[in-house]
Structure 1
């Protein structure tokens, strides 16, 4: 199986890595200033930093005082990892305050938060919150048998949504792929409207990342993938879906859940990249059941290996969820989350939603998990691409795009100082590509 994922933009990564290193160097000599910042809100002068914690997008310090009270955690987003520093901190702090007020989800209590221009340490925006003692659930799952029960909570109330969705994938496209901030500063009234913007973002990503393709054939396949994703969208999204939309966290997983020795959940942390999302996102079977992102397994061992590993975990999860629903008296078929999640596996909407979240690996997800389900058998990806995008209506636009991407790739290699030769190659003649009998070619 061909690796259809996109490489990172090494030029962009080098630039942002220098920012990260500068921040780490500054933080290593700022212990007293960090303690003083925490002291200001504790109204004491004896705060001590007792541990440092570094995650995917943030670094934090645990602070202790000799007053018998609770420890606090002060957390800073990590430049070079987080691309929307002030916006991310402001939204996460607000959401944690909202969850603490309106739900029973055990989140850290926010003591204070501030933007970069209000932080005397020079370390950028920060959140000061209570420290929660607990064991990481992901570590427990990896080291011993899984717990017998999985808990759940629902968010009550109706918060005001007044800004665009700030997603993990937006952050990663800017951080690793060299894209500009190309997501509109707006809210969305329907699922179709928002998902349409994500599909457009897939095309923007392919166009803007300098090394998003590595050959003419690869470019045609990725071009066709985005055309086909748009063509199948309404198969998975009701066209009249105007809500209610659900609170959704892109990165909520066992690694963000803290439990005590009896496996009782004592804390749910890291609420960055949370937003109001189409109900299909929350209604899809969770990707994290195998504690690894699905596209990585599919890429390394193939789609069949992914399903062999994922589906037994999904069955176990749904059985636990159904038991929990019965405990809460949820007996009506249409009101049960387990029903929607089971359907998301059967009708492949879970993989469509996953492709929307994982923009940089949409090609792998689409070709391995969606294409033949939607359009019927194919002899090869090349055969599908030819049938879909070699029609007179779109052939010239496609080939103009392929030539522009090859030129862009040549310029990228030159700027990177890599001696690699790549040139535009015309498509193989039609007669050399076998045709599969069955459904007609999709109209895109």
Structure 2
């Protein structure tokens, strides 16, 4: 019952190779054969994504069963206790979510045959062993679909979202399956842990489970982000502009997030409800969704985070104004609005706001979250769109607004503070050199550095003046 460990992957990613070498594929294939009572098997294609390595295992049984083995990508530098714990929690939560959806809804998902959340063991890595679903990813055919076929798919998407919308939990956060449900049954619960690498930069206890509504959560998240901004990249020339953008974004929270929306509980929200994770079949006739795959980073979430259009009918912030798919997305969103409103009228509501109304008014919240949680390049791209959504698209009004805040308004003292930091950084760099005074110093690191060489800075200079202002 030993499978061939040959691979067809041409990926040059070092993490892929390191991960593949760390896994004992023969042990994993033997386990699969034992579980499904197959005499033997062989490994097929291998593909790598952003977080996982996937291999297809072909069993030599009467049904010619194909399984999917998925293991998290790792690197030598990432193998520390904190990273391992996050991966373990991530897999535990993903499996629990898939099993919950399979047992509590009519949404088709891959069936999990076996999994391990830990690297220790004969396999040598955490893994999920699951069924391979029929069909092709929606992303491969969506752009060429006729409007009527897209309508058929969107009707099914609406049904899936409404099912998830009805699954409510008492607090936001990742889902886990634990013993103790009574009569020997397991129970699903929310646990306050980090499972997403996007959360690693904010180590201020900013966990959704700690907050009863989205407004309070995003206020805490914004404050933590502003605090990180102030304490990092000491002396950065344009820090005041980044600060003013973060300040403006935070100021929108009361108008974007209504605390009362979350009093009816938190719906189960897929981590990446995009077209590459929606499998469909019968594309040429009446397309049918066969499964939603990749439930990684899913969680019970705030109502406003759930209540947004599926990503594949939303304009990407990087798109130019004349992008050819913008017009199509407008049509698809209109179709989606029509379908979800009709579907809600015949379903028993869970209570609280209607999902159709939330989604049709979700653009500002979508842009806000893009600014808050995406990388710096994406954030800078989404910010002007958010600003224009609030004020209208006026030439140079963004610069004039920020300039007014900094030069004459509420951020004037902050601008003066950052100017002092900049001047102190320039003086220190001129005296201590480029190697000692880098561009990525935290405020505490800079303070320790110049204090160590204080005798080299003259009285009345920028460094001593700055030190006096923070001591």
Distance verdict in 2 for CA 1:165–1:195, change over 3 Å:
farther
Greater gyration radius = 2
* 1:248–1:275 contact (8 Å) kept in structure 2: yes
Shift of 1:101: 1.0
Tell me the TM-score normalised to structure 2 length: 0.68
Alignment partner of 2:361: what SS?
A: helix
CA distance in 2, matches of 1:278, 1:404: 43
Residue 136 of structure 2 contacts residue 281 of structure 2 at CA under 8 Å; is this kept in 1? yes
Q: Aligned runs of 1:376-395 on 2, under 5 Å? A: 379-390=396-407, 391=409, 392-395=412-415
Q: Aligned equivalents of 2:220 and 2:348: distance in 1?
A: 35
C-alpha contact 1:164 1:184 (8 A) present in aligned 2: no
User: Does residue 281 of the first structure (1) align with residue 284 of the second (2)?
Assistant: no
Residue of 251, 262, 266 corresponding to 1:231: 251
Cα distance change of structure 1 residues 294 and 405 upon mapping to structure 2, 3 Å threshold: farther
Q: Is 1:111–1:129's contact at 8 Å kept on the other side of the alignment?
A: yes
What secondary structure is seen at the aligned counterpart in 2 of 1:33?
helix
Spell out the pairing of 1:19-418 with structure 2 (5 A cutoff): 19-26=15-22, 30-42=24-36, 44-69=38-63, 70-79=65-74, 84-122=86-124, 124-145=125-146, 146-149=149-152, 150=154, 151=156, 152-153=159-160, 154-155=163-164, 156=167, 158=169, 159-164=188-193, 166-167=195-196, 169-170=198-199, 179=201, 184=206, 187-203=210-226, 206=229, 216-217=237-238, 219-243=239-263, 244-261=265-282, 262-290=286-314, 294-297=316-319, 301=320, 310-326=329-345, 328-329=346-347, 336-345=354-363, 348-358=364-374, 360=376, 361-370=378-387, 373-374=390-391, 379-390=396-407, 391=409, 392-400=412-420, 411=438
Contact between 1:88 and 1:272, CA under 8 Å: does it hold in 2? yes
Q: Deviations over 1:127-174 (max 9, x none)?
A: 11112121111111134324222212213364521224644633xxx5
Partner of 2:174: none
CA distance in 1, matches of 2:313, 2:123: 40
**What SS does the corresponding residue of 1:60 show, helix, strand or coil?**
strand
The SS at the match of 2:68 is strand
8 Å contact 1:389–1:398 — kept in the other structure?
no
Q: CA deviation at 1:226?
A: 0.5
TM-superposed deviation, 1:107: 0.8
Q: Deviations over 1:13-56 (max 9, x none)?
A: xxxx75454224445xx442331243353355513223323223
Identify if the C-alpha distance between structure 1 residues 180 and 315 changes in structure 2 by more than 3 Å, giving closer, same or farther: closer
3-state SS of paired residue (1:75): strand
Identify if the C-alpha distance between structure 1 residues 350 and 306 changes in structure 2 by more than 3 Å, giving closer, same or farther. Answer: farther
8 A Cα contact 1:199 1:226, kept in partner: yes
Offset from partner CA, 1:249-295 (integer Å, 9 cap, x none): 231111101111141111110001111211011112333315xx722
8 A Cα contact 2:261 2:352, kept in partner: no
CA RMSD of aligned residues (A): 3.8
Instruction: Return the alpha-carbon distance in structure 1 between the equivalents of residues 380 and 59 of structure 2.
Output: 51
Counterpart contact for 1:93–1:110, Cα < 8 Å:
yes
Alignment match, 1:419: none
Counterpart Cα distance in 1 of 2:195 and 2:28: 28
Task: Report the CA distance between 1:312 and its aligned residue.
Answer: 3.6
Distance of aligned partners of 1:98 and 1:167 in 2 relative to their CA distance in 1, 3 Å threshold: same
Deviates more, 1:81-90 or 1:112-121: 81-90
Give the unaligned 5+ runs of structure 1.
1-16, 415-444
Q: Give secondary structure in 2 for the equivalent of 1:322.
A: helix
Q: What is the deviation of 1:66?
A: 2.4
CA contact under 8 A between 1:333 and 1:339: conserved in structure 2?
A: no
Structure 2, gaps ≥5 residues long: 1-12, 170-187, 442-471
Shift, 1:228, TM fit: 0.8
Q: Is contact 2:151–2:335 with CA below 8 Å preserved after alignment?
A: no
